[in-house]
Structure 1
């Protein structure tokens, strides 16, 4: 190989690496833009990691897929710290669970497992547990509006890891949250320890609010 060809190949390699780096940076910027949009459209949210937002000290956490990914990853350490606090379990018990070989970070759907307490439930932006993951673990007898988390009409799949029943409803009047209270449209019920990879075409992107059993 002559010197001219060597320089040509080197130039192509450098250009390819630079293009890949620029593409990754663009994807990362897009992720931050999505997070910024949710923060701007909601109240009380705090970004706790490069891809997560928490509300009310971790009572609700939204996780975004990382750049170039389609599924949100298992909880970051920052989210784990909030989850253990919300569930009332110690960090030592989590470490013990790991050493005992119990599943810690996630099952196939990445909703926090029972190691963090027996009540985590998650909603997903896309079917097959893809896109953004919005999760809770507390009892909510009062209706929770997805509009508070910029997640109106964005649920395509769900996972209920805990012992509660989750009741998901739609608004009878578009753009009016109180219609979830006054005349809700019942969409589906989530039994304890169940999940659904797709809610079905008739229910896709229809969820506006939910409440739970004790």
Structure 2
């Protein structure tokens, strides 16, 4: 091999090694940013980390954090599930379980029966940012999990529930404004008039829902 070819081969090898090192450093930085966000969530709102992306709560809520690169939260709990911890919260971790998960809609878990379906609130439009997901929590205040005035899109996989959302008008709950209704389905963007204004919700069984009269 002549000197010119040897120099070219060396340059290519250096560039490849540099790209690999840069990619690895970026992955490490993203992982650190993700973990920092989870640590901050737990420090302020409690809960237990049940995967690389998710924090679970005794009341049945799960907060799933977005990938720092894509800005989207992964399906269900994401990768790195802590099986023991997840199971202690009765969370489904196996999509092939016939009584557990079936699929996901914009990351929001869907099960084989209505009782294993979830409804989800998203931090940003188009289902991006943090995802706050619930299965059995029929009444809630967003501030309990850190998304007071932070909802811009949603998914409701529960065909048996309709979720009414509200904005509480003052700290003593002496009034409320209706925001939007979450029927079975999804919305990539709530109306601009109610964007980032949700503070509470109440889920009702479809047959008991009074409708929009």
After superposition, the Cα gap between the structure-2 partners of 1:97 and 1:213, relative to the gap in structure 1 and judged at 3 Å, is closer
Q: 1:75 to 1:208 in 2, by over 3 A?
A: same
Partners in 2 of 1:137 and 1:122 — Cα distance? Answer: 9
Judging changes above 3 Å, is the alpha-carbon distance between structure 1 residues 82 and 130 closer, same or farther for their aligned structure 2 residues?
A: farther
1:204 match: secondary structure: coil
Does residue 133 (structure 1) correspond to residue 131 (structure 2)? The answer is: yes
Contact conserved, 1:170 with 1:209, CA < 8 A, in 2? yes
- C-alpha distance after superposition, 1:58-116 (max 9, x if no partner): x0011112342222111235497467x379xxx8x963379xxxx81313x22111326
Structure 1, gaps ≥5 residues long: none
SS class of match (1:188): strand
Match of 2:195 in 1: 204
Alignment map for 1:71-150 (pairs within 5 Å): 71-76=72-77, 78=83, 81=87, 85=90, 95-96=97-98, 104-107=102-105, 109-115=106-112, 117-118=114-115, 119-140=117-138, 143-150=139-146
TM-score, length basis structure 1: 0.80
Runs of 4+ residues over 2 Å off in structure 1: 76-83, 93-98, 116-119
Structure 1 residues 56 and 97 mapped into 2: Cα distance closer, same or farther (>3 Å)?
closer
What residue in structure 2 maps to residue 62 of structure 1? 63
> Aligned in 2, Cα 1:139/1:46: closer, same or farther, shift over 3 Å?
closer
TM-score by length of 2: 0.80
Aligned residue pairs total 194
Per-residue deviation, 1:41? 1.6
Asked if 1:28 corresponds to 2:24, the answer is no
Point out which structure has higher relative CO (alpha carbons under 8 A, 6+ apart): 1
2:15 alignment partner in structure 1: 12
Q: What is the aligned counterpart of 2:169 among 142, 166, 172? A: 172
CA contact (8 A) 1:147 1:208 kept: yes
Any gaps of 5 or more consecutive residues in structure 2?
Answer: 206-213
